[in-house]
Amino acid sequence: MNKCCVVGLGYIGLPTAIILANKGIHVSGFDINPEIVNKVNKGESHIFEPNLKVALKKAINSGNFLANIIPSKADYFIIAVPTPLKKNGQSIPEANIDLVLKSIRSIAPYLEKGNSIIIESTSPVGTTKVIARLIFDITGFDDKEIMFAYCPERVLPGNIMQELIFNDRIIGGLNNQSSVKCLQLYKKFCKGKIHITDSKTAELAKLSENAYRDLNIAFANEISMVCDNLGINDKELIKLTNYHPRVNILNPSCGVGGHCIAVDPWFIASAAPHITPLIQTSRKVNLFKTEWVFNKIINLINEYKNEKKLSPQLGIFGFTFKPDSDDTRESPALFIIKKLLKKNFKIKVCEPNLEYYEGIQLISHEEALKSDILIFLVSHRSFKNLIIENKFILDFCGIINHK
């Protein structure tokens, strides 16, 4: 158990590879993007995570970690590639596991008897069995010769390094032998409890976690829209409601983004479309909230024009998918900004966690505060306690204290 090949050096693959290498395991990081490979081998990360760069340099200097554009032989192969939604225009999108299947085909020539394949990519129920059949067809090995397991990550961007180590993990083996074999690897670095189950249960557990979170956010977002309709301060309403000992309404937002919550519930809905009305509705509520926010902005722009007789300058604060992160995947705030840009509104954008984003000019919050209308979409810490006077304000993330 001295070698591990991590396929996909993104938000999960790269931190996982680094942690394994710093635990004394020889790790080969495989990514099809040569720019990422070159950058990583220089000790430079293409993603921002606290403590990641220091840990990366330590892993490289130890001689235990090297990135490459081809796979290598290993005892364990960890698949950590994206599983986006298919863009098929259907009312219930389906998962696209093409990158997972492509990764499996790419490592097949390097497999040897006794190897283990671990899927960490979020996947529809049954994916582990699908990739096992694919490997058996390609290589001729069987389930006693190659081990398969599904082990979903449970991390929060901005704290990935810590959570990979300390969070509980689920290992869903294709059979008990696979679970036991993969447990040996995760015990090397995981300090949380490790729970053993079958692969289908592990796959659905990951999807259920994010569908549950989507549902809770949807309730908060819907309540915020009801409050607006009734002329009630949603922040005050939620604060008062949460004094109930068994109630904990989340803070509303401009929608839901990220690689998990905005995507994974559809994997369940597409597998059981006729018995998942609640999951489907939660997704639709959170998507609608983003459109609702956009329309609220348009309405305020029109009010400003009617009152001032001129077009306003918009100062927009934040467009990553979550606070204090540089991650823009599926960001509702970014969707809103791009939609406003298409309408040729005058926009200044402040995103303190990014130095550059193609197509959007980034400025300081001091400069953005000079705008006529201030729009807060993401509750970054650096936006707290800003001094704002005599401005039109739309606060969709509950960060600004104003009357």
Question: Which sequence positions are flagged as catalytic?
Answer: 206, 260
Cα separation, 174 vs 121, in Å, equals 16
Order of strands, sheet of 346-350, starting from the edge strand that comes earlier in the sequence: 346-350, 313-317, 373-376, 392-395
Residue with tokens 């294709």: 174
Cα separation, 367 vs 378, in Å, equals 17
From residue 21, give the alpha-carbon distance in Å to each of 9, 173, 233. Answer: 14, 24, 50
Cα separation, 289 vs 223, in Å, equals 11
3-state secondary structure the chain: CCEEEEECCCCCHHHHHHHHHCCCCEEEEECCCHHHHHHHHCCCCCCCCCCHHHHHHHHHHCCCEEEECCCCCCCEEEECCCCCECCCCCCCCCECCHHHHHHHHHHHHHCCCCCEEEECCCCCCCHHHHHHHHHHHHHCCCCCCCEEEECCCCCCCCCHHHHHHHCCEEEEECCHHHHHHHHHHHCCCCCCCEEEEEHHHHHHHHHHHHHHHHHHHHHHHHHHHHHHHHCCCHHHHHHHHCCCCCCCCCCCCCCCCCCCCCCHHHHHHHHCHHHCHHHHHHHHHHHHHHHHHHHHHHHHHHHHHHHHCCCCEEEEECCCCCCCCCCCCCCHHHHHHHHHHHCCCEEEEECCCCCCECCECECCHHHHCCCCEEEECCCCHHHCCCCCCCCEEEECCCCCCCC
